[in-house]
Amino acid sequence: MIKRTLYFGNPAYLKTSNEQLVIEMQDSGEVRTAPIEDIGLLILDHQQITITQALMAKLLANNVAFITCDATHHPAGMFLNLDGHTLQSQKFQAQIEASVPLKKQLWQQTVTAKILNQAALLKLQREENKFLTELAKDVKSGDSENTEAQAAVYYWKKVFPDFLEFKRERHGNPPNNLLNYGYAILRAVVARSLVGSGLLPTLGIFHRNQYNAYCLADDIMEPYRPFVDKAVCEIIRMNGKFLELGPTMKKQLLGVPAMDVLLGGQKSPLMNAVQRTTASLAKCFEGKSRKILYPEFT
């Protein structure tokens, strides 16, 4: 069963009772409940939301990733469980001791999967993708020739309509805002699954920024990014140039964890696929496998 993504964008008081999340809506006085064990991702997007420490503890104990947003409604922080697996210390050790050649092979697989998914999305958009499919064949160990960047230059010129004159910049013009929001949701899903697989999200196989607490999440989410891009393409198709991030667009992006993907020949929701990806990564670190399972478009 796929875990639920819950979003709160209005004043509310959140507490817990009998292993339930209890939501008291401040405007209407309405009270709702949801089983904590069914929740995978919780997003708090209002400055007048109050959450009890008891609820926070139960959410973390159930490996719920929850995101807090700032006054501009952009994700500002993420909370994760510190004790996500029964064999956590053993898995931490295997991750820490992973050899450089292994990490280079894993990054090669990651970049190849990302480029192939970018190519698949261009095909869905009826754009030429042969350059990317050929480029994916040439990714070297550790992506020593920076094939990922070459693919990105081509991909971003093709994936969105010409009238947007799009340039991928974190603080650039729309739809950069939509991409940022979708990637933040994806990052939380991946980080949650890494913790559930007994891995440290901080220790990446490629990303090494000393100020980034989620380097491994940023590595593993790369082949999943095109699924967020697909959701953004659908928003653009319906809204044209009018791309200010509002409730309707947020709702569409919050559906990313439930998107269907193909993994190992099986169709499953993206959130479930991420869990299989991180579990396969843990096996690679432990020497039980040499291949990470990554998704494809259905």
Peptide bond into 175 cis (omega under 30): yes
* Ligand-binding site membership of 148 (annotated): yes
C-alpha pair distances (Å), 129 with each of 35, 109, 125, 137, 248: 44, 19, 10, 13, 31
Q: 4-8 and 39-44 as β-strands: parallel, antiparallel, unpaired?
A: parallel
Whether the CB-CB separation of 218 and 194 falls below 8 Å is answered with no
Dist CA 275 CA 273 (whole Å): 5
The span from the CA of 276 to the CA of 88, in Å, is: 17
Burial 22-50 (b: 16+ CB within 10 A, else e): bbeeeeeeeeeeeebeebbbbbbbeeebe
- Binding-site residues sit at 148, 207, 222
- Binding-site residues for Mn(2+) sit at 148, 207, 222
